[in-house]
Amino acid sequence: MLVNDCMMRHPIMISPTTPAAEAQKIMAENQIRHLPVVGSGKRLEGLITSQRLALMPADLGSLNVWEITRALGHLTVKDVMVKTADVHCITADRTIEFAASLMTRNKIGCLIVVEEDNVVIGLLTEADLLHAFQEMLGLPAKGVRVTVRMPEDERFIHLAAVMVENRWGVMGIGSFPSPRNPGYWDVVIKIPHVSVDEVREALSVLTNMTIADIRVSASPGE
Amino acid sequence: MTDFIEKRMPPVLKVEDLAVAYKVRGGEVEAVLNVTFDIQRGESHGIVGESGCGKSTVAWAILKFLGDNGYIKCGSIKFQGQELVGKSDEELRRLRSDQISMVYQDPMQALNPSMRIGDQMKEVLTVHRGLSSSAAEKRCMEMLERVAMPDPANVMLRYPHQISGGQQQRVVIGMALLNNPALLIMDEPTTALDVTVEAAVLDLIADLRRDFDTAIMYITHNLGVIARVASRIGVMYAGQMVERATVEDIFKSPQHPYTQGLIRCVPKLGTDKTGSILYPIRGRVPPPDNRPAGCIFSPRCDYVRPLCREQRPALRVIPGTNNETRCHFSEEIDASQWQPSEEIELPTLSGRKVEEQPILQLDNLKKYYPVKGNSLRDVLGLGEKRYVKAVESASFVVPQGKTLGIVGESGCGKSTLVKTIIGLEDATSGTAKFLGFDITGNISGRDKKLIQELQMVFQNPDSTMNPSFTVGQQIGRPMRLFKTAPKHRIRAEVIKLLQAMRLGENYYDRLPRQLSGGEKQRVGIARALASRPDLVLCDEPVSALDVSVQAAILNLLLDVQQEFGTTLIFIAHDLSVVRFFSDYVAVMYLGQIMEIGPADAIYRPPYHPYTEALLSAVPIPDPAAKQKRIRLEGSVPSAIAPPTGCRFHTRCPRRSLLPDPEICQTEPSWQMASDTHRIFCHHTLETLSSFEQVITTT
């Protein structure tokens, strides 16, 4: 899955001369936390986040309420935005794992997706990555979700052979180093049209692997 | 990302309670009122309605293209969360260049005829994106490939007039998408295109919407097109949005009486003359300066009650449905129990027995136009003579009292054939006998009696009616010329004919400019019938009319045929209209009749591969209907140098089924499916019969 597959195309964008108050209103009405700022040709000039619009008490200083109102009234997006140099961007052909690592390393909640000349074509947020994660593990599909734990020198092909032999369709699959079990890997598979007992019995032939978790998963709520 | 897991996103466009007015002398006219809808990312939202309902005005209001005297009276237009009403011209200009694009009906409106295609496309990127010329050229070539333009490098060097209408529209769509807009407004983009070209362009729009995730606002009057292209539909009537729902709900269970009426008056492809009558909507659309106080549709509604005349209904969700409807009593209306009111003029289809003697016989009729060359050899008369072979070997017989429908795309020769029959063109060779008399010679040599018996109804009555003469004078003229009535009785006869056309005596003294489109066409039909002809040739008489008016005119023509026993030859490009209206149908391609037979037989196998392609392309006003997808590659070859042998073979999707496809370069023979049904094809009847039904309705 690439960034192109997960990003939101045509995000809401504003110009740098938009009053900050209007930007805040747009974000509140549309329930968004990130607003790319673009100039002509949709070229990226900055980013507005809800944090940037929150005023620190220390910034207000000794201004009285009228002075504060006057100052706020003249604020434009350009005055409060994160400038381009500090905005993290990504291109649409990158993998979502790379996008996720960029976000975690920089402790940010979104990436602006750009093409040549810094033209904004989309927005990738934490929420988009969480959606992708859910879909990769087959969340919305009804089926049996099983976590198989195997030593890291074990070969996945043995598990695959069981899947093929039993003609399991796979709605989602993921693998990762088993947390708190060094030397082991966990493989999560979502299998439709089977029962828990069928899966247990089928996997019992794999002597070097254990079932760390197994359950019926039918909807995002379960 | 698909909707596998639903993501909440704000709409790209949100219009709320929009009202648009135009300042006129003495006040203002409210063209649009109370319009509310929204369009999500990647969604195609259709706006459908008849002429003058305000659908284009809504589009122009979004773009602020209203003109000097137009303005947004009230309401809100939010694009990407930002209010457009009240934005400065500069801000709107930037939005229009970067995020909103529009595609018009006539691509020549958007294309500069004096600039090469490539230069115009590059300009979008060099001006709005600041790209270099070489970078812009590369992007334009990629876009032309994306819109399936054959030979993009060549097209970049051409001028707009050097490519076909379908290709022009592809260029315009490509230009609109170059800047990757969030919203694409399409105002009848396929109305001017032939049906096979239209089908290919609609497929392209669906692909591009999916790939670019662009929100599309699709404006059209054609219910078949909207069923194919839109996921949600807003129905507009007299400036208001009267119903809004998903495309499935609109067609399966329309809640507003106007929507129900619209669907009733659209010819369906699966029905025939006796199986389904068209029910026009009675009355007329009120002018914008004279709308009723209550529900705007109330004067024409079959379910009207006192409250409807007093109070304008609000748009609301009807309980038990997902439709938003502007009607006080939608819940109480059961469309399945509807009966036509007495005011609706319905044809009487049973009854008059006709003698099936042939009235018109064509035998190998040809019409070629000489082409003048530009070389010196041509000037000296030494060059090879070339011809536009507009009609090739047309042979058929039309029985008296029946209707022959001729269907085909632009340039197929159907209008030339009809003009040759009526005498506006001289035949090149072959014979045409009308009532046993040869009519292939020059019309000046034709007997006056023959001219009297053979009349024509034209597509556009505006251009065939003298604007300075009254309706009475124009209808009376043939009566005077052919002496079908004594001078002192002409007025009475004209009034009688007007009444047969459901027009009152008061129309006698009106001028053409005082008539609506449907009324002008009725006068055109009356004028054709004034001489009491035996045969009337109708050249696309309803294609320029709204669907409810079209239904009334078709019913009228059927009635005329029943009452007067007139034989009709009816040209149309709309297969569903031809199916409904005709007893026999001839399908033409590049001057050649490819198939001819009873209407029932043409629309199911065995059929000619071209007929099959036409049926697969026609938009059906039923989203539940299944339609095979057959798309013809390339464009229609030139009639100056048509392909040898079968003229369709260069585009035939069934050619590879032949044991030896090269045989198509020889002239096919007629495959006789029955005495009256023949197909001009190399395929055997068995093969042609094995083709699947193109359209299956649930």
Whether chain A has a CB inside 8 Å of the CB on B93: the answer is no
State the ipTM, two decimals.
Answer: 0.78
Contact B129 A140 (CB under 8 A): no
**A118 and A180, same domain (yes or no):** no
Does residue B346 have a pLDDT over 80?
no
Does residue B513 have a pLDDT over 90?
no
Dihedral sign from CA coordinates of B391, B397, B402, B407: negative
Does residue B688 have a pLDDT over 60?
yes
For A203-213, the pLDDT digits (tens) are: 999 988 899 99
pLDDT of residue B5: 47
**A42 and A55, same domain (yes or no):** yes
Chosen for mutation from A42, A113, A129, A171 (greatest number of chain B CBs closer than 10 Å) is A42
Those of residues 69-88 in B touching chain A at CB distance below 8 A are 80-82
Q: How far is CA B275 from the centre of its chain?
A: 23
* Higher pLDDT, residue B534 or A52: B534
* Banded pLDDT at A172 (limits 50, 70, 90): confident
Q: How far is A101 from chain B (nearest CA, A)?
A: 20
- Which of A6, A9, A40 is facing B94, going by the closest CB pair? A40
* Domain-embedded: residue A42: yes
Give B-chain residues touching A124 at CB under 8 angstroms.
none
Contact A15 B94 (CB under 8 A): yes
Whether chain A has a CB inside 8 Å of the CB on B554: the answer is no
Q: How many domains does chain A have?
A: 2
Q: What is the mean pLDDT of chain B?
A: 87
pLDDT of residue B445: 79
* Domain-embedded: residue A9: yes
DSSP-assigned beta bridge partners for residue B103: B186
Q: How far is B15 from chain A (nearest CA, A)?
A: 15
Whether chain B has a CB inside 8 Å of the CB on A220: the answer is yes
pLDDT of residue B636: 80
* Domain-embedded: residue A108: yes
**A129 and A158, same domain (yes or no):** no
For B95, nearest residue in chain A (alpha carbons) = A40
Q: How far apart are CA B695 and CA B698, in angstroms?
A: 10
Q: What average pLDDT does range B402-428 have in this prediction?
A: 89
Does residue B357 have a pLDDT over 90?
no
Cβ-Cβ contacts under 8 Å for B111 (sequence gap 6 or more):
B117, B120, B160, B168, B171, B172
Q: What is the mean pLDDT of chain A?
A: 86
Per the document, the length of chain B is: 698
For A5, nearest residue in chain B (alpha carbons) = B1
Whether chain A has a CB inside 8 Å of the CB on B12: the answer is yes
Helix (H) or strand (E) holding B672: strand B670-672
* Higher pLDDT, residue B110 or B123: B123
* Domain-embedded: residue A72: yes
SS (H, E, C) B138-158: HHHHHHHHHCCCCCHHHHHHC
Contact A117 B215 (CB under 8 A): no
Whether chain B has a CB inside 8 Å of the CB on A31: the answer is yes
pLDDT of residue B2: 37
Contact B81 A134 (CB under 8 A): no
**A88 and A21, same domain (yes or no):** yes
- Which of B41, B81, B180 is facing A30, going by the closest CB pair? B81
pLDDT of residue A154: 81
B280, B291 contact by CB (below 8 A): no
* Domain-embedded: residue A200: yes
| Last-in-domain residue among A133, A148, A175 | A133
| Last-in-domain residue among A133, A164, A197 | A133
**A109 and A146, same domain (yes or no):** no
* Higher pLDDT, residue A54 or A80: A80
Q: How far apart are CA A55 and CA A63, in angstroms?
A: 13
* Banded pLDDT at B577 (limits 50, 70, 90): confident
Q: Which domain holds residue A143?
A: 138-217
Does residue B334 have a pLDDT over 50?
yes
Q: What average pLDDT does range B45-70 have in this prediction?
A: 90
| Last-in-domain residue among A133, A148, A174 | A133
**A19 and A121, same domain (yes or no):** yes
The domain spanning residue A150 has which CATH number?
3.30.70.260
Give A-chain residues touching B212 at CB under 8 angstroms.
9
pLDDT of residue B3: 39
**A51 and A152, same domain (yes or no):** no
For B264-275, the pLDDT digits (tens) are: 888 776 656 665
Strands A89-90 and A110-115: parallel
pLDDT of residue A68: 66
pLDDT of residue A95: 94
Q: How far apart are CA B535 and CA B362, in angstroms?
A: 14
**A19 and A127, same domain (yes or no):** yes
- Which of B1, B81, B182 is facing A5, going by the closest CB pair? B1
pLDDT of residue B4: 45
**A207 and A99, same domain (yes or no):** no
**A121 and A151, same domain (yes or no):** no
- Which of B10, B91, B215 is facing A30, going by the closest CB pair? B10
Structure pTM? 0.83
**A87 and A157, same domain (yes or no):** no
Strands B358-371 and B324-325: unpaired
The domain spanning residue A113 has which CATH number?
3.10.580.10
* Domain-embedded: residue A222: no
Chosen for mutation from A9, A13, A125, A131 (greatest number of chain B CBs closer than 10 Å) is A9
**A128 and A142, same domain (yes or no):** no
* Domain-embedded: residue A85: yes
